[in-house]
Structure 1
Amino acid sequence: MVGSLALAGFLAAGCASYATDRHVAPLFTQLSTAGGGEQIEAAGGAFVLQRDAPGGEITEFGLRPLFLHSHPGEGRRKTEFLAPLGLVSITPDEQLSRLLPFGQYQRRTHADGTRTWSYFGFPLVYFASFPDGRTVRAWLPVAGRVEKLLTFDKIDFALWPLYMRTERDGRVAHHFLFPFFRFLSGEGAEGWRVWPLAGHAHLEGNYDRWFFLWPFVSFERDKLSLPPERRRSRWSVFPFFGRARQGSFEATTVLWPFFGYARDPRSGFRSWDVWPLVRVQRPGTSKAAKRTRLWPLWSRFEGDGMTSTWWLWPFVNSREETYLDHTRNALRVTPFYDGDHVKRADGGEQRTEKVWPLYQSQRGSEGSRFSFPALSPLWHMPQLERHYSWLWTVFAREERGEHLRERSLLGLWRREKDADEDRRSLAGLWARRDYRRAGRAVRETSLLFGLVRWRSAAGESLEWMAPSLPGPGWPLERVRSTGPATAPGDGDAPPR
């Protein structure tokens, strides 16, 4: 009896405090993370909480995949819920709340201190305020006004599609029984439409367009402010025949979209099109792209700083893209492989590779990440991975500078290494901690939920440590070493 009480007292005294590592995944995990932060997980990773330091401010918490809230500081907060449908994002000058497909609310504070807001939601209701104090309202199809939508300055409607009024650059159009009847006027514009019978639209110095029995007969002249030799004209008797001309350029279509031919003797431009099987386009001295297509076997596009080649469309694609500050090379074999290599002008690089469903990896100047399997067939989407990848990722490894982090399925294996310490743990069974003290390598080991623990150091005898249930019991506050942490095999390893 006395022995039992003594054992119980010994074990009770050995229970881990709230300021120590506790790793009993998948039930519960509390660990010191690389860089000196603190992370708590429960239910295999469904619940997660992250602090910037032990007992410090919470920077992230959530119950995945229901929601995940992050607070990086500087007045910025973000909550993602039912990803990718829900989002609440708050910054010092903007707030955005969204739940697709039901609605979105946005509020902004401008540089002059004025505030604007807008709301769009089901059932097709829209409200918005503007810096001058005006508020517009719309409820489709009943009535309302919308401003700065698409290319229009203003849209008014009542019992849509019975009546709608649009305004753009001073031009006003009245629509009745949209799209059947329209009347256009103002700022050099005039026009009418009785669709599909006939219609005419004219904008002074810009275009003049007619149609009859749409889409069968149409005629238009564009760029009317230019000299006659640079204006463009087009007409067609759909789908049988169509012609377009602009200066020395001319194009012909027969049985659109199947047969087409275009040329410009001045620039040497040529294009032949037997859609969708064959297309040959040679730009000559023009700025047009160079295209060759033998669909679906092979095609190639060269232009606008990009070269794209397809084999057995839509399965294999290779792309080379050139921008002002970086270049990008990509290879995709749908759906099994995605590879991407970015080179920046400052010398930085980033390589991303995904072999579905086996693994995905990222390697670059700022660090690397590897995980397997990669069950999502979608290309790299950090938002979805934050919420769902913990459900299927068997192993993940991330390196950033001197920080190394590893995690297995359900969090059963964890490794958190930085310049000060290297901590590894297999839930309940085994844990090890390596660090340096007074220039000497020190190793601490924990077995069987923290019941058996010892410490060894170079030049010192083995030291038994008190139990710390449920283990491993290392303090959350990391040792600040005088030199870099040394892991096994990295140099002066401690004795076993």
Structure 2
Amino acid sequence: MWPLLDYRSSELVDYHCLHLFGPLFKFEAKESEYEWALRPLWYHATLPDQEVSLDEFVYPLYQRTRTPEATKSVTFNLFRAESSPDEESFSLYPLLFYRRSEQRGNEFALFPLAGHLEKRLGRRKIDFALFPLYSRTLRYEGAVTHNLLWPIFHIKHGPDNESGWGIWPLYGQGQRDRSYRERFVAWPFVVLRDEYRDGVFVPARRSYFPFYIRQLDEDFVETTLLWPFLAYRENTDEAYREWDIPWPLVRISRGEGKHVNRFLPFYADETYRRIHKRWIVWPVYKFEEMWTPDYDRNRHRVLFFLYDSLKETDPQSGELQRQHTALWPLMSFVRHGQVRELRVLSLLDPIFPERPPLERNWEPLWRLFARRWDPYGNSALTVFWNLYWQERRGDDVARELFPLFDYRREGNSVNFGLLKGLIRYRSENGHSRLSFFFF
């Protein structure tokens, strides 16, 4: 009764699938795995034997996962809750934070009224009251900073006689024995910093913005004149030299660790460590390469997501491991190992490639054609939400074009029908039968 009802099953592989109103409702059972979907409002999947479940409501509005170890809930990436035997936490970013954990510490904060945070924003501890009126931070190395009317007033102290104070942006200073000395005047126009190296304090930063900026490290030197028009940096550790004239439009880099020719927005070719990028008439065309011990990746993009082609190969054998090609909004092609899939239409996948929640909740609503296959003779095909569908597992095959015909072959059994069984032919183990008018 397409498109109102579509039901298929296979006792051989313990598979049952029911669709109502095309892609809107789905129930699927595969051995011990069960799925329900009322698209795009609700999706539920469960593995009862493993006590694992997944719920999604109008994704990305709400998502919840349950395992024997923990339960996690996310609401539009703003509200997060997690509970486990060792930890309980929830947050409503950026207003409310709560966590009870022996390993990560306890915290509670109601921003901007008052709160205590642990291991956030690069700090070991953060305390505040009526922020920005007062806040206190503790760094991992032990320095404590008190802020009044952040970021205007601050006082800090720490180990090795570390101390400092500031009235931003007018004046500030800080120092630590055998570590550093720094000060600023009318920030960011004058910033000075010395660091302790080889038994003496040496200049590490001299900034008279925007006229002259110089930064020195043990293996790095950067000099800027009339920012952003001219900058030169040299990195002896990574063996390269670099010029910006001006930043970020023109950059030239030369050396073993880096090679860049950038003339934005017309052309850019950049190689740094294991990554190579090339832009032509930004953002018309971009090419990226990446080399890792596990895979080599190359990616071509036209106008960000209008055309996107990604391939990952084995660095030793060169064998293709993963592929994703999309032409928005017409189609996308995906390959994982030996399994390939072609989809038409594809509205979200080219923009947010390979996001399983979008594939479960949204993509089936407008997918007119889909085909999945592997080199072992297994395949599945659907057109117009199963108006025509075909499945093949080895030598077994099933296909149907509603309401004209249906055909199934499993082993020595053949079942062929016209007009939903008005005329039907069956054959099994050498015995044949022809029936009419659904009998």
Q: Which residue of 2 aligns with 1:7?
A: none
> Match for 1:141 among 112, 135, 139?
112
Q: Which residue of 2 aligns with 1:48?
A: 26
Aligned partners of 1:278 and 1:198: how far apart in 2? Answer: 34
8 Å contact 1:35–1:403 — kept in the other structure?
A: no
> Match for 2:251 among 254, 272, 279?
279
Alignment of 1:2-401 (within 5 A): 24-32=1-9, 35-53=13-31, 57=32, 59-72=34-47, 73-100=49-76, 102-109=78-85, 115-121=86-92, 124-131=95-102, 135-169=106-140, 170-188=142-160, 189-222=162-195, 224-225=196-197, 233-246=204-217, 250-263=221-234, 269-274=240-245, 275-284=247-256, 287=257, 289-334=258-303, 335-344=305-314, 345=316, 347=319, 349-376=321-348, 377-380=350-353, 381-400=355-374, 401=376
Q: Which residue of 2 aligns with 1:410?
A: 385
Give the root-mean-square deviation of aligned CA atoms.
2.8
Cα 1:338–1:191 change in 2 (3 A) is same
Aligned partners of 1:248 and 1:61: how far apart in 2? Answer: 58
Aligned to 1:165, what secondary structure does the other structure show?
Answer: strand
Aligned to 2:382, what secondary structure does the other structure show?
Answer: strand
Normalised to the residue count of structure 1, the TM-score between the two structures is 0.79
Unaligned runs of 5+ in 2: none
* Higher normalized contact order (CA 8 Å, seq sep 6+, divided by chain length): 1
> Match for 2:396 among 421, 427, 430?
421
Normalised to the residue count of structure 2, the TM-score between the two structures is 0.89
Aligned partners of 1:176 and 1:318: how far apart in 2? Answer: 48
- 1:249 CA drift (Å): 5.2
Cα 1:232–1:392 change in 2 (3 A) is farther
8 Å contact 1:338–1:379 — kept in the other structure?
A: no
Alignment of 1:442-457 (within 5 A): 442-456=413-427
Aligned to 1:449, what secondary structure does the other structure show?
Answer: helix
Q: Which residue of 2 aligns with 1:19?
A: none
Unaligned runs of 5+ in 1: 1-23, 110-114, 470-496
Aligned partners of 1:265 and 1:102: how far apart in 2? Answer: 43
Aligned partners of 1:282 and 1:312: how far apart in 2? Answer: 23
Aligned to 1:161, what secondary structure does the other structure show?
Answer: coil
Aligned to 1:45, what secondary structure does the other structure show?
Answer: coil
Aligned partners of 2:26 and 2:423: how far apart in 1? Answer: 28
- 1:151 CA drift (Å): 1.3
Aligned to 2:420, what secondary structure does the other structure show?
Answer: coil
Aligned to 2:22, what secondary structure does the other structure show?
Answer: helix
Cα 1:466–1:228 change in 2 (3 A) is farther
- 1:63 CA drift (Å): 0.7
Cα 1:206–1:60 change in 2 (3 A) is farther
- 1:447 CA drift (Å): 1.8
Aligned partners of 1:248 and 1:106: how far apart in 2? Answer: 44
Q: Which residue of 2 aligns with 1:434?
A: 409
- Percent identity, aligned pairs only, is 29
Q: Please identify, of 407-416 and 234-243, the stretch whose mean Cα deviation from structure 2 is larger.
A: 407-416
Query: Deviations along 1:188-232, whole A, 9 cap, x unmatched?
Result: 33111111111123344443321111111111234x355669x66
Cα 1:228–1:397 change in 2 (3 A) is farther
Aligned to 2:363, what secondary structure does the other structure show?
Answer: helix
8 Å contact 1:420–1:436 — kept in the other structure?
A: yes
Cα 1:266–1:427 change in 2 (3 A) is closer
- 1:102 CA drift (Å): 5.0
Aligned partners of 2:289 and 2:219: how far apart in 1? Answer: 32
8 Å contact 2:268–2:280 — kept in the other structure?
A: yes
- 1:262 CA drift (Å): 2.9
Aligned partners of 1:243 and 1:78: how far apart in 2? Answer: 54
Query: Deviations along 1:361-397, whole A, 9 cap, x unmatched?
Result: 1234331100112223404123212211112111001
Aligned partners of 2:59 and 2:210: how far apart in 1? Answer: 45
Structure holding more strand per residue: 2
- 1:79 CA drift (Å): 1.1
Aligned partners of 1:31 and 1:467: how far apart in 2? Answer: 22
Larger Rg: 1
Aligned partners of 2:301 and 2:35: how far apart in 1? Answer: 34
